[in-house]
Structure 1
Amino acid sequence: MTAMTPGSNLPLDTVRVTVDVAAPVRLDVSGLLLAADGKVRSDADFIFYNQPSGPGVSYRSGGGAAPDSITVDTGALPPGIERIVVTASPDAAGQTFQGIEPTATVRDASGGAVIATFTPPQLGQETALVVVEIYQRGGVWKVRAVGQGYANGLAGIATDFGVSVDEEPAPPAAAAAPVTPAPVAPAAPVTAAPVTPPAPAAPPAPAPVGGGKINLDKGRVSLQKNQTVSLVKGGRPLLSQVKMGLGWEPAYGGRDIDLDASVIAYGPQRNFIDSCYFGKLSILGGAVKHSGDNLTGDGAGDDEVIVVDLGRLPAEATGLVFTVNSFSGQKFTEVAKAYCRLIDAASGEELVRFDLTSAEPQTGVMMAKLIKQFSGEWEMTAMGEFVKSRTVRGMVKPASQAL
């Protein structure tokens, strides 16, 4: 085994190698297939949580208990691919590598024997790294220790190598770091079983026209855009476990559509606290949990479910915004029957429903928000606001502004 230093390289005497990247915190790891011009041929050459395999390259999640890894089969790479870069970024939004230097372990993918290790030294404000690269030189495949840092997250690396990332530009970074869009938040996909809604016993009560609000005393409520319902029943605030079910279908017999439902938690000053999505299935001490990723949108019932225990939410969490994004770039004009519905987790009763009746050619939508009032009651407002963002991280700012 060789301990590598920045810029050093070693020839590989095995066709298949695996690169594990570990750190004291959870990392998002990815691999990019690069041609002679140093760019990907298309977004299909970006291998990560939501696209875990490509020709000759695959991604494996460690699930938080083990390192994420990229495996490269040099014998299966397409002609013209000369380099595979392995990247990493902290899973927590805005966290830098200072004090949490990652270590890459390069090993024989078949036998598991360790070939080399590399820990980039003297990291500071970097939020993403090109850790190592597997490359071909003179007909020989080699591994090189890189350790190049970026100040704008994994999206900075992806954009630098030609991957399309539709996000709002980030503030200018230090001169040494590339300036790129806001960061993508890769993490491991989890396939969730759809939850079929119970058959309605009676039609839901419509909310007042004109944006007024009602409570739950008359039964289920059907909201229109910008309408609000107070989660009060029998004069008492609903402080129990609820589920936000989100569903959609491919429009008019179109291809499968992989949308990602998320919830963003905010404090009383609209300050961001945390996001719960398929790559981070539990936040706020387990008070908010995600069912996992649905990759097609096919079938009846909720595609993804987010469970919120209102009674266990910390006092500083006073706002929740529920969002849906399409990292693959499909627009909401390709989606049909998108909706969100609030369910009593104990009884399975549907409390509130909002059907998205219009669409815009964007990749993100804010579906609904839950806001805690000074009285202690929660209110749900239907939103239906479209945003140009493929990831939940790109929704943090517009959702804050919409609270």
Structure 2
Amino acid sequence: MSVSLSTGQRIRLEGQSGPPVIRLGLGWQGAPRKRLFGSSRRRAVDLDASAVLYASGTLADVVFFRHLVSNDGSVRHAGDLRVGTSGPSEQSEDTESITVDLGRIPPRITQIVFTVNSYNGQSFAEVQHFHCRLVDEASGAELARFTLSGGGEHSGQVMAKVDRDEDGAWQLTAIGVPAQGRTFRDMLPVIEQYL
């Protein structure tokens, strides 16, 4: 059963035999642009997903379109796709995804923050039907979904983080905070407010 998350909500991530393998999936469409004579055409919007790994508040590694696998191999980006889905029937499909094997994350890594940004600097006002979802890879079950509506003039979004709780178990926290930036690097000051 999927949980629709709002900012600040948390869910515990537990597998049947230890920490699960999870996949963060993103999907979106470019908003239609009015053309001459009343026709419309969807904008091509290039959003990029990143996973920023921290060791006790210090940036330790990052997985994004230029570095697809974490140094330890536990986090993998499926690759950069430069446009969202093309039609309403595809709204639930993921355009980009990052897979995280929580059981393989080294003990020194305490948090992983997921971000989305527009590499070309387009704002989220040019995006519609945007979703971020967390899927259990073993079962295929959607664990949580975070949906953005209303766009905005920001070019980035700090989506969520997974971190270890006081018992050492992994939990997901929805963040959903707008930011400005073409890559995760531009958003580091905002990201660090949520560590």
By the TM > 0.5 criterion, same fold? yes
RMSD (CA atoms) = 1.7
Name 1:257's counterpart in structure 2: 45
Q: Which amino acid in 2 is paired with 1:257?
A: V
% identical equivalent positions: 41
Residue 13 of structure 2 corresponds to 231
User: In the alignment, which of 67, 72, 76 is matched to residue 289 of structure 1?
Assistant: 76
Residue 237 of structure 1 and its aligned partner are, at CA, apart by 8.7
Aligned to 2:160: 368
Contact 1:242 1:307 (8 Å CA) reproduced: yes
Q: Which residue of 2 aligns with 1:266?
A: 54
The one of 126, 132, 141 aligned to 1:349? 141
Q: Does 1:386 align with 2:178?
A: yes
Secondary structure at 2:67 match in 1: coil
Instruction: State which of 376, 379, 395 in structure 1 corresponds to 2:187.
Output: 395
Q: What does 1:2-13 correspond to in 2, within 5 Å? A: none
Q: Tell me the distance in 1 between the aligned counterparts of 2:51 and 2:84.
A: 18
2:131 is the counterpart of 1:313: no
Letter in 2 for 1:285: D
Question: Comparing both chains, which one has the higher relative contact order based on Cα–Cα distances under 8 Å and sequence gaps of 6 or more?
Answer: 2
Counterpart-to-counterpart distance in 2, 1:238 and 1:230: 12
Q: Please give the alpha-carbon distance, in whole angstroms, between the structure 2 residues aligned to 1:375 and 1:251.
A: 43
What secondary structure sits across from 1:264 in the alignment?
strand
TM-score for both structures, normalised by structure 1: 0.43
Cα distance in 1 between the residues matched to 2:119 and 2:105? 29
Q: Deviations over 1:276-330 (max 9, x none)?
A: 0011000041100000011111242101010000000011111111111112111
Question: What residue identity is the alignment partner of 2:43?
Answer: R
AA in 2 matched with 1:258: D
Q: Gaps spanning 5+ residues in structure 2: where?
A: 33-40
Taking the aligned partners of 1:298 and 1:387, their CA distance within structure 2 comes to 23
Select the residue among 242, 246, 253 that pairs with 2:26.
Answer: 246
Q: Tell me: CA distance 1:238–1:400, structure 2 relative to 1, closer, same or farther (3 Å).
A: farther
Q: C-alpha separation between the residues in 2 aligned to 1:232 and 1:261?
A: 24
In our comparison, the structure showing a higher alpha carbon Rg is 1
Structure 1 CA distance for aligned equivalents of residues 71 and 137 of structure 2: 18
What SS class does the counterpart of residue 307 from structure 1 fall into? strand
What is the alpha-carbon distance in structure 1 between the residues aligned to residue 18 and residue 64 of structure 2?
24
Aligned residues: 182
8 Å contact from structure 1 (residues 250, 335) kept in 2: yes
